[in-house]
Amino acid sequence: MPGTTPYRSRPVRCLYCENPLICAHCGKSFLLRSQAEHDSFYEPSAPVRCPHCSRIVRCRYCGATYSGSEDEYEH
Ligand SMILES: [Zn+2]
Ligand SMILES: [Zn+2]
């Protein structure tokens, strides 16, 4: 695909506590795998879902939920 910039997957740090962001639900590292995921992660208007368990990401260390502007809770 000419013109497509490869995106290197990399671990992300929690926006709140700056520890490596690990999903509290499944315990796996949260990775950004594309520019689109990168943009949505830093765009606070949309919930960020874990690529492993597809639940809304919650930081294992500080408990922050990346639910964007919506008050969405999962049980
Ligand atoms: Zn955190
Ligand atoms: Zn997960």
Whole-number pLDDT of residue 42 = 85
Is residue 16 in some structural domain?
A: yes
pLDDT of amino acid 28: 95
For ligand 2, the distance from its centroid to the CA atom of residue 1, given in whole angstroms, is: 30
Is residue 17, in this structure, part of any structural domain at all? yes
When pLDDT is averaged across residues 36-56 and rounded to a whole number, the result is 86
pLDDT 10s digits, 5-45:
778 877 789 999 999 999 999 999 998 888 888 888 887 67
Has residue 70 been placed in a domain? no
Q: Report the candidate in 58, 10, 59, 3 with the shortest Cα–Cα distance to residue 34.
A: 10
Q: Is residue 72 part of a domain?
A: no
In a domain, 39, yes or no: yes
Domain that holds residue 23: 1-64
**26 closest CA partner among 4, 1, 53, 6:** 53
For position 24, what pLDDT does the model report? 97
Number of domains in the chain: 1
Q: Is residue 71 part of a domain?
A: no
CA of 5 from ligand 2 middle (Å) equals: 27
pTM of the model: 0.76
In a domain, 25, yes or no: yes
**Residue 44 domain-assigned (yes or no):** yes
CB 7 within 8 A of CB 31: no
Going from the Cα of 24 to the center of ligand 1, the distance in angstroms, rounded, reads 10
